Amino acid sequence: MSWPETTRRSAEGSLEFGGVSAVDLAREYGTPLYVFDEETLRNRARRIRDAFLHAYERSRLVYAGKAYLSPALMHILLEEGIGLDVVSGGEIFAGLRAGVDPAEMIFHGNNKSRAELEEAVAAGVGLIAIDNDLEIALLESVAHDSGRIVEVVLRLNPGVDVHTHHKMRTGAVDSKFGFPVWDSQAEEAATRIFRSPRLDLVGYHAHVGSQIFDPMLVARTIDVIMKFAGCVHRRWGVLPKVVIPGGGFGVADDASGADVPIDEWANAAAMAIERACRDQGFPPPVLIVEPGRAIIGPAGVALYSIGSRKMVPGIRTYVSIDGGMADNIRPALYGARYAATLANRDPAGEPLKRVTIAGKYCESGDVLIDNVFLPELDTGDLLAVPMAGAYCLAMASNYNLSPRPAVVIVANRSARLIRRRETYDDLLRSDVFDPPVSAARDDRRLSAKKGSV
């Protein structure tokens, strides 16, 4: 199970992260609260970066910002020499805000708009991963209008099926991402790009999915990419300067698993790329890997307060928390399985009971953890859920018009707020409506009561 590396129990029994007590954090910032441990974030980024550099000298690590792109957290990753994979104009904007050099960004997405491509080109984003025919035409036109030559990689659909949740597979035959390599589509796309005076085809990309635990799948993906690179080289003489086999390194979500061994992954990637270069006489390209979850997932913990409790005789006991699918939709979306522990007292030695942790939102499917063994939970107890750093806040919504949680970073016994809890005013900020005078008065009273941290 992936708790932050600094997780401890204090003498009083409270869980601590980065030397800061969960009880103090909840008191100061309220719950639900997302807590990121700076040491874990840095260590994980360094370990992945170093494993790849050790296995293959020409490696580069970029963080897949879709896992959770907070300027403050990204700034920490930047200090570790890590670039950024973005999938929208908003992520480019946040990356720039964090101080990322746009040349260190890779822009992905299966339906980038012209406006987003213009933003990327104007900002000087280093690489654009071309995903479809429309995009070739759009990007050509954007590059022409801006008078630039844009470096691109071609996103391939390698037809590599991985054994992960079907909603997390991106490289199987039936996928909306990339150009299929098994018919003429990818080669025709490469030809169009090669013929364009405005687009410079520097390499290839494929990302086959998330939560992958078998490193040989990355080797297979690289084999397919390099085979395709060989076809393009024979036809047009274009060498692959950059090869990107995506991210997707598996991380244990709950108590039952272990992370993928990153050295094995890096070695498998290095061996596949070196073998292909030897076979085809290519000079070694730059290898870029773009994990999201494996960097940020275990650095984050969600803290919730326990509220109501309901027993359905002979079936189950529901214990409700003050968050749920609006801050973490993964259990509802993917059936993702989480672990949890009591954060405000040490439950060691207490008998465990089987309960279902329910969210507070108006959906029966809003269940955070089904059938989990926990000590007796009382109203006001604090529940800590590990592995909450990835794809939770990134997919958070204001469902039921709920303000999204505050976010803090902990390090060296202190906490720093990096995102304040949303207020009711934030919820309606984008609505265009002039309230009647009386409603405006009530509205002011409510927002005055509901202060933010």
State the residues that interact with ligand PLP by CB under 6 A.
64, 66-67, 85, 108, 170, 207, 210, 246-249, 290-294
Report in angstroms how near the CB of residue 29 gets to ligand PLP at its nearest. 26
Report in angstroms how near the CB of residue 67 gets to ligand PLP at its nearest. 5
The rounded distance, in Å, linking the Cα atoms of 119 and 99 is 16
State phi, psi for 282 to the nearest 5 degrees: -90, 145
The rounded distance, in Å, linking the Cα atoms of 277 and 230 is 9
How do 33-37 and 300-312 pair as beta strands? antiparallel
CB nearer ligand PLP, residue 291 or residue 347: 291
CB nearer ligand PLP, residue 85 or residue 104: 85
Catalytic residue among 231, 277, 362, 392: 362
CB nearer ligand PLP, residue 66 or residue 241: 66
Show the beta-strand stretches assigned E in 105-224: 105-107, 127-130, 150-157, 179-180, 199-205
Closest-CA residue to 86 (of 103, 70, 106, 68): 106
Report in angstroms how near the CB of residue 294 gets to ligand PLP at its nearest. 6
Asked whether 89 and 115 are in contact (CB, 8 A), the reply is: yes
Q: Is 362 a catalytic residue?
A: yes
CB nearer ligand PLP, residue 298 or residue 375: 298
Burial bucket for residue 95 (CB in 10 Å: 0-12, 13-18, 19+) = buried
Show the beta-strand stretches assigned E in 325-429: 341-342, 352-358, 367-375, 382-385, 406-411, 414-419
Report in angstroms how near the CB of residue 360 gets to ligand PLP at its nearest. 27
Report in angstroms how near the CB of residue 93 gets to ligand PLP at its nearest. 19
Asked whether 22 and 15 are in contact (CB, 8 A), the reply is: yes
CB nearer ligand PLP, residue 15 or residue 289: 289
Q: What are the respective helix, strand and coil percentages of the chain, to the nearest 5? A: 35, 25, 40
The rounded distance, in Å, linking the Cα atoms of 14 and 347 is 10
Structure tokens at 18: 């980065």
Asked whether 357 and 383 are in contact (CB, 8 A), the reply is: yes
Report in angstroms how near the CB of residue 63 gets to ligand PLP at its nearest. 9
Which residues lie below 8 Å from residue 373, measured CB to CB, with a gap of 6+?
Answer: 352, 353, 354
CB nearer ligand PLP, residue 31 or residue 170: 170
What residues are annotated to the active site?
A: 362
